Amino acid sequence: MEEYKIKIQKNKIDFNIKNQIIELIKKENRESILSNLSDKILFEYLDIVVNSKFIYLFTLKKENSLVAYALLSNKPSYLISEFSQLKTKIILNLILKFKFFTIFNLIISFFKIDLIKLDKKNLKIVSENLNLNLIAVKEIFQSKGVGSYFIKNILDHFKDKSEFEYITCETYRKRAINFYVEKCNFVILGKKLRIFKNLTILSYKI
């Protein structure tokens, strides 16, 4: 797939790419907390991401068009600590949109109550390793091998980094679970508690 170009966005991110990522978040990651935030906050969020030492934003492009993006962190805890300056804005934005269940999910995640179903071994894997927090592929590129190609290249990027032993991810969708297990060799670890529907946690040993 030589026509696709993978890049880690660092320090500064193109305005057009920002817009395309936000559009993809709202369309393909509708169940995520980010999809409930205003575009203005998401712009600030992405600026923090590309300037963080602990978070990685991968993009996959074909010519000048964004095909997919992925957001990873060294540990899940950085997805909270790195955005402390946005905390008040995020909560207020969710309140104004009456997203009270989303706020509740944020709270149980902050206090790690959502991980109570995991045993000690799997809790350590989830808490102390890379986390693939979000990933999305544009609809017209789905079911064409693009997603597995993207993830394979992301996994290859971290194989030489000895501090990481696993990559974990979570999803609500049965189709996504099948994709990770069958196409990318992830295994199911357990469940992460959420209001209405729990997340399935998966891991890949690097």
Q: Grade residue 1 by pLDDT with cuts at 50, 70 and 90.
A: confident
pTM: 0.95
Which residues, in sequence order, are CB contacts of 151 under 8 Å at separation 6+? 70, 135, 183, 184
Report d(CA 42, CA 178) in Å as an integer. 29
Find the length of the chain.
Answer: 206
Q: Grade residue 176 by pLDDT with cuts at 50, 70 and 90.
A: very high
Write down the pLDDT at residue 160: 77
How much is the average pLDDT of 17-43?
96
Report d(CA 131, CA 58) in Å as an integer. 13
Q: Grade residue 45 by pLDDT with cuts at 50, 70 and 90.
A: very high
Write down the pLDDT at residue 189: 96
How much is the average pLDDT of 71-96?
95
